[in-house]
A and B are shown apart, each in its own frame.
Chain A
Amino acid sequence: MNAPLRRVGVVVMVLFGLLFANLNWIQAYKADEYRTSDYNGRVQVADYKRKRGNIEAGGTAVATSKETTGKLKFQRTYPGGAKYAHVLGYKPVNLADQGIEQVENDFLAGTSDQLIGDRFKDMFTGDETGGGNVLLTLSRRAQDVAYDQLRNNQVGAKRGAAVAIDPRTGAVQALVSMPSFDPNPLASHDTAAAAAAFNKLEQDPEGPLKNRALAETLPPGSTFKIVVAAAALENGVSKSTPIPAGPSYTPPTSGSPIRNAAPSICPEAQVTLQEAITESCNTGFAQLGVRFGADKIKEKARQFGFEQDDLTVGQLGEGGLPTAASRTGDMQNPDGSTDPAALAQSSIGQNNVRMTPLQGALIAGSVANGGSQMRPYLVRQLLAPDRTTSYYTAKARELRQPVSPQVAGDLRDMMLTVVQNGTGRKAAIAGYTVGGKTGTAQSAPDRPDHGWFIGFAIDKNGNPVSAVCVVLEQAGSGGSAEAARIGGQIMRAAIADPGGR
């Protein structure tokens, strides 16, 4: 019986050899894949051993980590609750990261290459130096006002957004989307509760997780007239040039006439361009668009930033919060020729024209800043864990130059009259020169209109200090006036905030 016993010994050797070979496959060849698998909770537990850095706005932490006694050592908390949710995003245990938490994750977590010195030091001291701190450009007062005013808007709109930027630098002063959400439950260490909270938010028909300010595109309505006016100014029309207007305009080949918002608006056969802007004369701008043609309108919009789908708002380099592209959309017949009806509708910001709130603020900002559009950014500075070393400081950068300083000046003057004695009176701020443009956009035939306002504020010395865009979705009657009021409030808060810039 000894021969088979020996062979059994060999069989056992072979079985163990298979185990050994298989373990090599798993622990050596596939090790990296398994170690970094999305289903591997260990990576996160390791992450939570180190104190994650703060995200701060105006010298106050709006995202911070608190030590706990649980398995995961640090609990991420968001003292501002829903107010900063769409900027900060959230850092959940098992779900996907969002917002600045995701964009600046490496620096906050302390794993970025910039902080390798700390990691190296930790190896010898045995300490766990925390992650770095991210300082935001946001003005806390402007953000407060934007959040509160949107939530308590006087026309009962449930969805909307507001963006304020510094026209001279592109630094974002306020960024709010409504409805918002509280990110704290999502960061809960109870992963089941966090998942439940996330699912509830995700299934909410109002879409609270959506960053409307950056990624929601809506028909811009009359705010788009600034783009058309810029095209006109560059093609031989001046502020005081009379343009055809009238109570009604029916584009060639189209059955349905375009009318003004009220019979009192530009019933004359001709008004000046400035008057057309001030009163928001639909018939005038529809005819302007048809006169200059789709290509000129599209090109001007593109120069203002339409069609750009890779703009990110974070640092002034790679990465940042994604934005949606604004679009001028289709203005053609099926055979490729321009459809005058579509072009006329597009020229007053209807048809297939879609714009993000950020794009609105960029248009207002570039007008105020002498035709120079600055790249928007949210991250002002990256500070080392000990707050002594700075690893990044934003240096403002021009994104594009949509119009010449001269055209910008004309546009600015026209927008000032809108606030002085036009549709945007409610945006006025005492002691500052405020300009803007309201917009009322049809959303769907049976739904209330969206109310828009884009505007800017200029101080006594002629410096543009804030540009804003506010949209109230399906706000109905009075929506654009309310948007103008909120826009003015936000700019006033941004100006008043000493730490805002």
Chain B
Amino acid sequence: MTVAATPAPSPATTGGQSGVRLARSRRNAELSLLLLAMVLVAAYGATVEANLLDTVTPDFWMPAAALGAVFLGLHLVIRFLAPFADPALLPAVALLNGLGVGFLRRIDLGEAPVADRETLAVFAGIGGRQLAWTLAAVILAAGLLAIMRDHRSVSRYAYTLGLAGIVLVMLPAVLPSSISEINGAKLWIRVGGFSIQPGEFAKLALLVFFAYYLVRKREVLSLASRRFLGIDFPRGRDLGPVVGVWLISLLVLVFEKDLGTSLLYFGMFVVTLYIATERVSWLLIGLVLFFGGAYLAYVLGSTVGGPFANFYVRAEIWLDPFADPTDKGYQLVQGLLALGTGGLFGTGPGGGQPDILPEVQNDFIFAGIGEEIGLFGLSALLVVYLLIVERGLRAALAVRDSFGKLLAGGLAFTLGLQVFVIAGGISKLIPLTGQTTPFLSAGGSSLMANWLLIGVLLRVSDGARRPVTGGAGKASRPAGGPPEQLHGAPTEVIKP
């Protein structure tokens, strides 16, 4: 790649990389934002109680305080272990996580007998469990920051993680349905009372592998090509891994009956491939392959049935949910009705009827919240998600090594894509698939995996914003790490 291919960075985007600015850790800004987020969570809890109990109990602030203590712990860990990390990430995620806990507690309150509502314990019900999971997930993220002092160190385990990722993806597919199937999608491993979604963790593991693999192969992938119709197409032999991942994601689609996860993996891979090679052709190939595959599955589902039938049914529901509003289309219809009932301003936290919604604590939490906070509230939530994604991408832009760029860029995009898949699913933008809503949905797997993701983004952003100390970064590069990529260098050392 030539320098010309990269647009000259504007001062605004590179300004933060000047030595002077980078010296500021902005940890106090993070703390203030975090406090603001917790105040919002406490206010949300108070509104819920006012609507549901007709009174605000003296203990309304306790869930927010418990969450605040947990996040404050993480803030302190960041202060010491990743002092230059992006200050917006933790407060934004804490806000989402806090609202998720608040909404789940709101469901508990709604289901509790009226007499018991005022005395519902902080750790009771799914809200309390989510609070406990938050603690576990934040400890995990803190542990990640402690162990992984430099994001490049994970590249050492890239192949191990890649293998682990594939195993995690395939595991529910090969396990018997009794263990792995919930609501028609085989995505779980259920042991005793616990069910974990290995795919949530596989996402992270696979991305580390993708990033490592692509950094090594990006030269050949981006340079060796044939030009056709004005677009540079890669050589056939280089298509191997792409086709491999495509096949895996189609297998997921067919055997785990889950379009969302499949879309997520494939989108994740294609986008990291695109970031690595800067080839639009990869995006085109990816899109054609994915939509072609999905359409093929749809056609096969309508004619052959069998393993494709589930996808066909889902697509049919998506096309017209009101064709069978009480059975097959029930979930989607109820989600739409919840959103519609909320309207512009919503019914107010605690003022809606989320208990009518099936799976409101998981897949449909976005609709359940949307009923109560309305279009304006949901738009604000989307902006918070967008902020996290764009902050992740910003870390990717700023970090100096290619592996870090791919890792942070891929993770940030994956997070955004997951929000798109589930929020688009319940609002009938795309066919509905069983995805968790990051940081909101009840469930330990999703919460832990996404907090690990945030841990990685925090670490990469710390690396990106850390002042350059006389080539120390180069010297400390672990052996066997990804080769230094020179082409990105000009953008990274230019000063305004």
For the complex formed, measure the closest distance between the CB of B471 and the CB atoms of chain A, giving whole angstroms: 21
Question: Could you tell me if A19 and B382 are in contact, using CB atoms closer than 8 angstroms?
Answer: yes
* Complex-state Cα separation, A124 to B280, whole angstroms: 61
Q: B345's closest neighbor in chain A, by CB?
A: A27
Number of A-B contacts (CB under 8 A): 148
Decide: A35 and B340 in contact? CB cutoff 8 A. yes
Say whether A22 faces chain B, with CB atoms less than 8 Å apart: yes
A34-B339 in contact given A4-B274, A69-B113 (Cβ < 8 Å): yes
Would B274 and A8 count as touching, CB distance under 8 A? yes
Chain A 61-84 residues near chain B, CB threshold 8 A: 69, 71
A42 touches B341 (CB 8 A): yes
- Measured as residues with beta carbon below 8 angstroms from the partner, the interface class of chain A is 35 or more
- A1 with B423, Cβ < 8 A, contacts A9-B393, A71-B355 known: no
Tell me if A42 and B271 are in contact (CB < 8 A): no
Other-chain contact of A18, B340, B417, B424, B488 (Cβ < 8 Å): B424
Tell me whether A15 and B416 are in contact in the complex, defined as CB-CB below 8 angstroms, given that A1-B402, A42-B356 are known contacts.
yes
* Chain A residues with CB under 8 A of B271: 8, 11
Any B CB within 8 A of the CB of A308: no
B386: contacting residue among A16, A22, A23, A34, CB under 8 A:
A16
**Residue in chain A with minimal CB distance to B277:** A4
**A residues within 8 A CB of B336?**
26, 30, 34
**CA A3 to CA B10, docked complex, whole Å:** 12
Tell whether A13 is near chain B: CB-to-CB under 8 Å.
Answer: yes
Which A residue's beta carbon lies closest to that of B424? A19
A127 to chain B, nearest CB (A): 11
A292 near B: Cβ within 8 Å?
Answer: no
Known: A19-B382, A40-B337. A27 touches B375 (CB 8 A): yes
Q: Is B413 an interface residue when CB atoms closer than 8 A count as contact?
A: yes
CA A27 – CA B336 in complex, angstroms? Answer: 9
The answer on a CB contact under 8 Å between A22 and B409 is no
Q: Which of A5, A19, A32 contacts B420 (CB 8 A)?
A: A19
By the criterion CB–CB under 8 Å, are A23 and B393 in contact? no
Contacts of B390 in A (CB 8 A): 9, 12-13
- Cβ distance B344 to chain A, nearest Cβ, rounded Å: 6
**Looking at the complex, which of B1-9, B303-311, B440-448 is the stretch in contact with chain A?**
B1-9
B397 engages A6 (CB within 8 Å):
yes
Chain B 341-356 interface 0/1 with A at a Cβ cutoff of 8 Å (1 = within):
1111000000011011
- Could you say which residues of chain A place their CB within 8 Å of the CB of B427? 19, 22-23, 26
How close is A210's CB to chain B, nearest CB, in angstroms?
26
Q: Does B114 contact A (CB under 8 A)?
A: yes
Q: How far is the CB of A4 from chain B (nearest CB, A)?
A: 5
In Å, the complex CA distance between A12 and B113 comes to 43
Question: Which residues of B have CB within 8 Å of A26?
Answer: 336, 339-340, 427-428
Contacts of B375 in A (CB 8 A): 23-24, 27-28
Check: B188 CB closer than 8 A to any chain A CB.
no
Return A257 CB to nearest CB of chain B, in Å.
Answer: 58
Judge whether A5 and B428 touch: CB under 8 Å: no
Residues in A with CB closer than 8 Å to B114 are 69
Q: Are A5 and B409 in contact (CB under 8 A)?
A: yes
Q: Are B343 and A19 in contact (CB-based, < 8 A)? A: no
Residues of the B chain whose Cβ atoms lie less than 8 Å from the Cβ of A42: 337-338, 341, 352-353, 356
* B278 CB-CB contact with A under 8 Å: yes
Task: List, sorted by A's number, 18 A–B pairs whose CB atoms are closer than 8 Å.
Answer: A1-B402, A2-B405, A2-B491, A5-B409, A8-B271, A8-B275, A9-B390, A12-B393, A16-B419, A18-B420, A22-B427, A24-B375, A27-B339, A27-B342, A31-B342, A34-B339, A37-B340, A45-B353
A residues in contact (CB < 8 Å) with B: 1-6, 8-9, 11-13, 15-16, 18-20, 22-24, 26-28, 30-35, 37, 39-42, 45, 69, 71
